Structure 1
Amino acid sequence: MATPSLLLTLSVWLLAGSLLSEATYYRHHRYVPHFYRYREHSANTENLLPEVSNPVAEVSQPDVPTYPEIPEVFHPAPEVIHPVPEAFHPVPEVLHPAPEPYHPPEVFQPVPEASSPVNQSRVFYGIMFDAGSTGTRIHIYKFIQKDPVELPVLDNEMYHAVKPGLSAYKDNPEEGGNTIRQLLKIAKKTVPEDEWKRTPVVLKATAGLRLLPEDKAHSLLKEVREVFSESPFFMPNSSVSIMNGTNEGVLAWVTVNFLTGHLYSNTRKTVGILDLGGGSTQITFLPKSKKTVQSAPFSYIARFNLFNNTYQLYTHSYLGNGLYAARLATLGALGADGLDWKVFTSSCLPKKFREDVTFGGTTYKVSGIPDGYAGYKLCYYEVMKVIKGIVLQPYEVKGSSVFYAFSYYFDRAVESGLIDGSRGGAIEVRDFKKRAKEVCNKMTKYRAISPFLCMDMTYITCLLKEGFGFKDNTVLQLAKKVNNVETSWALGATFDYFRNLNIH
C-alpha cells in the first residue's frame, strides 16, 4: 500500500509545479487584446497606442484545455509622409479667414450642425467688386475649408465685367446703381441661396472715382450702398469705398505672388507687378537692395504682415497715368476747358482720324493732324511730356527681376500681335519698343484694330523705359490669368477683408 501513496504525492507535486510555471509565463508576457493590436495612425493619436494596464482574464471553459498564447510582435504603422507642396501649387491655398470686428463669426467660422459629419468640408464664398475707370468687374470666389485646423483652398473664381465704369454715371448715379444690380444677378446664380446671408459683398473703386469731384464720387458710392442693402448678401461695415493707390498696388502684388506660389514658399523669391489701368498705373516689387528703400520717398514703401512674414514693398500708384487718362494728357485735353469747341490733335493718331472720345463721363473732340507728320519719333516726344519728371525710377529695377504685367499691358500686346491672347507669354521691354515703331509707321494697317494703338504702344514703351527705367532686356510676363484666376488686386483685397493685412 506504500507504493500507491508515494505515487499520489509525486503527482500532486508535479501538477503544482506545472501551474506555477504557467503563471510565471503570463506575468512576463502580458496579453494584448485584439482590439489594440496593429492599427493605422491618425492625426489625433499622434502615433501613441493606448495601453491596458489590467487586462481582464478570460474565463476558461470547463473540460476545454487552455494553452498560453504566443504574444504577437506588433509594430506601429509606418508614418505617412505627405509630400511637400511645390512652389507653384496648382490649387493655391487661401488665408484662414479670421473675421474682422464687424464680421459676424458665423460667416467664416460656422458651428457645424449636429447632423453634419465632423470632418465634412465647409464651403464659403466672397464677392469683390472692382469699380474701375473703364468698367466694373465682379469676382466671386469659392473657398473650401477641408479641415478646421488647416487653411482653406481657393476652389474657383467667377468673373464678369460691364462697361462703362461707374465714373461714367457721375451725373446719373441711379443708372450706375443698375449696373451693380446687373452683376448681383450673376452672384445670385453663382452662390447657393443658403449661403447668401453669410457671403460678404464688397466694392472698391479705383482711379475712375478718384479722378471725380468729391461730391460726384460720394453720390455714386451712396447709390451702391443702397443697392447692396437691397441684396440678400451680407453687407459688412465699409463695404463700399474708394481704395487708395498704395493698397491697389500692394493687393495686386499679393494676388500674383499668391497665385504663382511665391508667398507660401520659403525662398522669399517673388515677382514684381505692373498694372496699367485706365486712370492710373502701379508698380510694386519686393526690394533686394537697401538703397532702393533708402532712396525712395517715404510714401513709396509699404509694410504688411502675411503668412507670419512681414513684407516691405516698393509701391506707388500714378493717378492720371493710366492708359486712357494718359491719352488725354498726351492730347492736352485732361483738365482742359472749352471742350464744346476745342479739337485736340496728336501725331500719334492717323492723319484722317477724327472722333469724339468719352472718358469719365466727359466727351472730348480728338483728331490726327491732317497736314502734319505722324510716326513713332514724334509720338514718343509727345508722350514723354506725360511721363518725364512725373514717374520716378526705382533704384534696382534695372536688374534682372521678373515682372508680371497685366491689364492694358496685356490687352495692347495681344492687339498688336506680340503675344497670344489665350496663353499670354514672356517678352522683353525691347519687344514693346520694336512693335510700337511698326504700328506707328503703318497706322493705316492697324487703324482697324484701334486708331489709338500707336499712341498706346508708344506710351507703354516710354513708361517702361523713360519712366520706370527698365532695361531693354527686362523680362515681362504678360498674363490675364494665373491658375485660371484674374490677375488683379481683387483676390488680394478679399484676403485683406478676411485677414486684415494692416497695410501701412
Structure 2
Amino acid sequence: VSQHWAACRCASQVKTSLMDLTNSIMDILPSLSRPANHSRIFYAVMFDAGSTGTRIHIYTFIQSEKGNLPVLDNEMFHSIKPGLSAYADTPEMAGHTVKMMLKVAKKTVPRLEWKRTPVVLRATAGLRLLAAEKAQALLDQVQHVFDESPFFVPDNSVSVMNGSNEGKVCPPSALTSHLNAQTKKTVGILDLGGGSTQITFLPKLRKTIENVPVADYVARFDICNSTFELYTYSYLGNGLMAARLASLGALGAEGLEWRVFKSSCLPKKFRDEWSFGGLTYHVSGDPDGYAGYKLCYQEVLKVVKGTIHQPYELEDSNVFYAFSYYFDRAVDAGLIDGVQGGMLEVRDFKKRAKEVCNKMSKFPPISPFLCMDMTYITCLLKDGFGFKESTVLRLTKKVNNVEASWALGATLDHFHNLKIH
C-alpha cells in the first residue's frame, strides 16, 4: 500500500478503473430510485465471521452523478461474541446469531431497498480450523438464514475465505484512500485476528518479491499502466487465540476434560477454564516453577519460530498500520487511548510486556493472559516478521471513519467478481 502514486500522471486511468467497478455494481443491483439531485444511494451488507466474533458491516454508497465515482457515505458496524466456530456442535445457533444481526441491517437499510441490497458472509480462520463437515454445517445454516431474509442473496454469498486472500482483499480499499496523498512514504498493514495474522505492504526492492517462499505471497494488480506487486500473506494458526493454544501445548491435544495446561506466561496461582473454537481448556500458571517475561518469551518463540517468513525488506521509513488485537492489547496494557489509538514503536510492546510479566504476582493484570498476549505480539513482530525495535506502528480501529478490516475490500471485490461471472 503506497502513497506515492499521487505523482502518477495517469489519474484518469485510475478513475476509469474505479469507474468500471462502479458500473459493475450498478449492473448487478437493480436501478435505484433517484432523488431530486439525481443521486444514487445503494447499500451492501458484509458479515466478517472471525474466530472470536462475528461482525456485520452495513455500507452506504452515494453516486452523485452518472460518471462520477461513488462515495462511501456511511458504515454501520456491529459485532457479537463468540465466533460462529463456537457453535460447531450446534450449528443452528450460528444461524440464529446471523438472524439476530440481520435485524441491525433491517434497521439501517430502508425497507424499500432490502431486495436490492446484497448480503454476503465471508468466514476466516475460525472456520478453517474446524473439520470440513462441521464448517460446512455452519455455512449451510447461514445460507438458509440468508435465503429466508428479504435481502438480495448473490451466488456464492456464504463461504470460507482462502487464507492467502484475507490480505489481498484489504488493500484495494486502502489503495483508493491513498490515491490523492502527497507523500512518498510507504504504508503497510498488520492485522492480528484470533486464528490468523496478516501482513501487507508494497515493497520498494525487487529482491523482496524474488525471495518469497511461494507465489501466494505476491498479489499483482494493474494501475496507471504499471503492474504493482504487493507482498501480502495470512498465517493460519498465528492469530492471538490460536497462539495461546500452541503456547500452552493444547493445540490438537486430547483428554481436555482432565488435562491442565500450564504456562510461565500466566500468574503462578492462576487456574481457570478458557474456551476457544467450541472447546474448553483447563489452564493454569506453574505454581512450582517460575513465571515472567524471559520464560514466557521462550514459550511463545516456539510458536513463531520457523512459521513466519521474514520479508527481505522492512524499511525503517515505512509506517505500518496495526489493527485488531494489536490495537486491543495495546489499550489493555495502557499504551494507547481506546478511542484515539496512537503511534508506538515495536520496543514499546516489548517494554510493557516485560513490566506486565514480571509483576504478575504483585499487580494482577486486567486479564491473566495479558502477559502471554503482549509477549506473543512482541515475539511475532521481532522474531516473526523481523521488524526492528524502532519500527513505528500506527494503532487504530478506523481509517477515514471506516472500521479497519478487509470487509470493505471484500465487498467491492465481490461486486466486481459478480460482473466477471
TM-score by length of 2: 0.91
The question of 1:289 aligning with 2:211 is answered no
Contact 2:268-2:361 at 8 Å conserved across structures:
no
Gaps of 5+ in 2: 1-5, 9-14
Q: Secondary structure at the match of 2:153?
A: coil
Distance, in Å, in 2 between the alignment partners of 1:309 and 1:495 is 22
In 2: Cα distance, 1:379 partner to 1:138 partner: 35
User: Which residue of 2 is the match for residue 393 of structure 1?
Assistant: 310
Provide the residue aligned with 1:224 in structure 2.
142
Instruction: Map 1:159-238 to 2 at 5 A.
Output: 159-238=77-156
What corresponds to 2:29 in structure 1? Answer: 107
Relative to structure 1, the CA distance from residue 136 to residue 231 in structure 2 (aligned partners, 3 Å threshold; closer, same or farther) is same
Q: Map 1:222-371 to 2 at 5 A.
A: 222-258=140-176, 261-265=177-181, 269-297=185-213, 298-305=215-222, 310-371=227-288
Compared CA separation, residues 299 and 147, structure 1 to 2 (3 A): same
Structure 1 residues 244, 445: closer, same or farther in 2, change over 3 A?
A: farther
Deviation at 1:272, TM superposition (A): 0.6
SS at 2:410 equivalent: helix
| Alpha-carbon distance in 1 for matches of 2:415, 2:403 | 19
The separation in 1 between residues aligned to 2:79 and 2:164, in whole angstroms, is 24
Q: Within the alignment, does 1:421 sit opposite 2:343 as a pair?
A: no
CA shift at 1:255, angstroms?
A: 3.4
User: Is residue 124 of structure 1 aligned with residue 46 of structure 2?
Assistant: no
Q: Percent same amino acid at aligned positions?
A: 67
Structure number having the greater strand percentage: 2
Give the 3-state SS of the residue equivalent to 2:170 in structure 1.
Answer: helix
- Structure 1 residue 252, shift from structure 2 partner: 2.5
Offset at residue 265 of structure 1 (A): 4.7
**What SS is found at the alignment partner of 2:135?**
helix
Unaligned runs of 5+ in 1: 1-84, 88-92
What is the DSSP-based 3-state SS (H/G/I as helix, E as strand, rest coil) of the residue aligned with 2:253?
A: coil
State yes or no: 1:462 paired with 2:376: no
Aligned length: 406
Partner Cα distance (1:190, 1:205) in 2? 23
Distance 1:211 1:255 in 2: 27
Partner SS state of residue 326, structure 2:
helix
Instruction: State how far apart, in whole Å, the 1-side matches of 2:383 and 2:95 are.
Output: 40
1:245 is displaced (CA, Å) by: 1.7
Partners of 1:468 and 1:502 lie apart in 2 by: 37
For 2:397 and 2:222, locate their aligned partners in 1 and report how far apart those are by CA, in whole Å.
26
Rounded to whole Å, the distance in 2 between the matches of 1:111 and 1:168 is: 39
Q: Is the 8 A contact 2:190 2:198 kept in 1?
A: yes
1:453 and 2:334 equivalent? no
Change (3 A) 1:219 1:308: farther
The alpha-carbon distance between structure 1 residues 256 and 352, as it changes in their structure 2 partners (threshold 3 A), is farther
User: 3-state DSSP class of the match of 1:125?
Assistant: strand
Distance across 2 between alignment mates of 1:248 and 1:306: 21
Structure 1 residues 383 and 307, CA gap change in structure 2 (3 angstroms): same
The answer (yes or no) to whether the contact 1:106–1:198 under 8 Å persists in 2 is: no
SS at match of 1:249: coil
The structure with higher relative contact order (CA 8 Å, sep 6+) is 2
Q: CA deviation at 1:269?
A: 5.0
For residues 23-43 of structure 1, the C-alpha deviation after alignment (integer angstroms, 9 at most, x for no partner) is xxxxxxxxxxxxxxxxxxxxx
The CA RMSD over aligned residues, in Å, is: 2.5
> Are 1:375 and 2:292 an aligned pair?
yes
Partner of 1:237, secondary structure, is coil
Larger radius of gyration: 1
Are residues 185 and 501 of structure 1, via their aligned partners in 2, closer, same or farther at CA, if it must alter by over 3 Å?
Answer: closer
- 2:237 maps to amino acid: G
CA distance in 2, matches of 1:446, 1:460: 21
Rounded Cα–Cα distance in structure 2 between residues aligned with 1:502 and 1:315: 25
Return the alpha-carbon distance in structure 2 between the equivalents of residues 492 and 444 of structure 1: 44
The whole-number CA distance in structure 1 between the counterparts of 2:150 and 2:300 is 47
With 307-316 and 430-439 compared, the bigger mean Cα shift is at: 307-316
